[in-house]
Amino acid sequence: MKTPFITKDKALEIAKEIPTPFHIYDEKGIRENARKLKEAFSWNKGFREYFAVKATPNPFILKTLMEEGCGFDCSSYTELMLSDKVGGKQHDIMFSSNETPDEDFKLAYDLGAIINLDDFTHIEILDKLTGIPETISCRYNPGGEFKTSETGNVMDTPKDAKYGFTHEQIIEGYRLLKEKGAKRFGMHAFLASNTLTNDYYPVLAAIMFRAAVEIKEKAGVELSFINLSGGVGIPYRPGQPANDILEIGRRVKEAYEEILVPAGMGDVAIYTELGRFMLAPYGGLVTKAIREKHIYREYIGVDACAANLMRPAIYDAYHHITVLGKENAPLDHVYDVVGGLCENCDKFAKQRELPKIDMGDILFIHDTGAHGFSMGYNYNGKLRSAEVMLKEDGSFQLIRRAETPKDYFATFDFCEYSFK
Ligand SMILES: *Cc1c(COP(=O)(O)O)cnc(C)c1O
């Protein structure tokens, strides 16, 4: 069973002020989860989560996470601006970007963010642009296939991924960075996405810890922090087991004590850069059933579309749907729940068993809190929706207004086709 964090009454109350569709976030859930992550890694003195801004780039969300002690992981110029605006200072900001433009490097440097280099060639580029900052990080790509054990499933294939330094490059990279004056070093790796196993972080950590020991021996560089990045997943489908973050924290600690401590590296800080795990379950897309049609399949048309939530259309991703007020009704209908884009992939659900849906019913599409609103776009002239925060005291707050046609025309403000 997946239970929405709002009731039908609450959704209707909000919809009176803020028309559907909108994304809604659960402040209480966000805070509790952030605290649990902190608890899981409380054994590590320097632990910090740098929330992956791209997952949910909303200043109100960022502020909430900052209050829980999180920093921000940015990948672009505007994400850096956003983190700065919210009050992120210096090392509160991690800059993990790739194919990085000069301006982005410059802004990250000027903000005093921790720059996480994606490639060996970026050392020279950054050195020429701004000089090498005292604190610097490198992204590691061990190549090959990533398995949770010798006999385990292949989780991903780093050798095919565009990110990071190779094993040889990273050792040479730290040597070069040290020569150029860097004083404090970090390492980052992101080897699999949306993992639904407690093995991911511990296995990744062991790979990185071993590399860290080798880097100390071969490059004479002792890392100050190891950034396990994102990738801890969430159960999108009902019945899928959730990751146990406390267990994950314990097992990363075991690897730490087995590999780093004996190498005299017992003060390395652990960082994470989670996006999905921090936000996905604590966001939902609230949308209204506005049309139905009966052809070769039964269709329910809603007022949201893939422009509001792209994951089903591009990854064929499953998002659970609850018809609010019909939580306990029998699932005796089979529908495709669709948006209005002129693309047949614009289906939030295909052949889904649901209760009978009547026009005007409010649907709650689950787990849209990360990589939901943020992947939105304006295809078919569709406008981005509002975002709403359900506060801990049960009240709600508009945290982003919906776009209007004026916003759509804003990029023509230089000519006669601008919105008048
Ligand atoms: C996307 C991304 C993350 C967050 O990934 P999740 O799967 O949302 O946890 C973290 N770090 C980097 C560099 C990313 O690109």
Ligand 1 centroid from CA 201, angstroms: 13
pLDDT at 155 over 90: no
- pLDDT tens for residues 244-297? 999 999 999 999 999 999 999 999 999 999 999 999 999 999 999 999 999 999
pLDDT of residue 214: 98
Ligand 1 centroid from CA 334, angstroms: 35
Which atom belonging to ligand 1 lies closest to the Cα atom of 371?
Answer: 8
CB of 234 closer than 6 angstroms to any ligand 1 atom: no
- Mean pLDDT over residues 208-228, rounded? 98
pLDDT at 376 over 90: yes
In the chain, ranges of CATH 3.20.20.10 domains: 27-280
CB of 96 closer than 6 angstroms to any ligand 1 atom: yes
CB of 73 closer than 6 angstroms to any ligand 1 atom: yes
Helix (H) or strand (E) holding 184: strand 184-188
Running DSSP on this structure, what letter comes out for residue 165? B
CB of 370 closer than 6 angstroms to any ligand 1 atom: yes
Chain centre to alpha carbon of residue 205 = 19
- Mean pLDDT over residues 223-236, rounded? 98
pLDDT of residue 257: 98
C-alpha to C-alpha distance for 291 and 120, rounded to whole angstroms = 54
- Mean pLDDT over residues 351-358, rounded? 98
pLDDT of residue 154: 82
pLDDT of residue 419: 79
When the pLDDT of each residue in the chain is averaged and rounded to a whole number, the result is 97
pLDDT of residue 147: 87
- With a pLDDT cut of 90, the percent of the chain lying above it is 96
In the chain, ranges of CATH 2.40.37.10 domains: 282-412
pLDDT at 1 over 90: no
C-alpha to C-alpha distance for 204 and 185, rounded to whole angstroms = 19
pLDDT of residue 402: 98
- pLDDT tens for residues 75-102? 999 999 999 999 999 999 999 999 999 9
Ligand 1 pocket test, candidate residues 37, 54, 80, most atoms within 8 A of CB? 54
CATH class of 282-412: mainly beta
CATH class of 27-280: alpha beta
pLDDT of residue 418: 84
- With a pLDDT cut of 70, the percent of the chain lying above it is 100
Which atom belonging to ligand 1 lies closest to the Cα atom of 163?
Answer: 13
What is the number of alpha carbons within 13 Å of residue 114 lying toward its C-beta?
Answer: 27
**At 118, which amino acid appears?**
D
Per the CB < 8 A criterion, the answer to whether 285 and 4 are in contact is: no
pLDDT of residue 26: 98
- pTM of the full predicted structure? 0.97
Those residues whose C-beta lies under 8 Å from the C-beta of residue 338, and which sit 6 or more positions away, are 299, 300, 301, 302, 346, 347, 348
pLDDT of residue 237: 97
- Mean pLDDT over residues 141-159, rounded? 85
Chain centre to alpha carbon of residue 123 = 27
pLDDT at 353 over 90: yes
Ligand 1 centroid from CA 260, angstroms: 25
pLDDT at 153 over 80: no
C-alpha to C-alpha distance for 164 and 399, rounded to whole angstroms = 35
Ligand 1 centroid from CA 273, angstroms: 6
pLDDT of residue 149: 76
- pLDDT tens for residues 28-53? 999 999 999 999 999 999 999 999 99
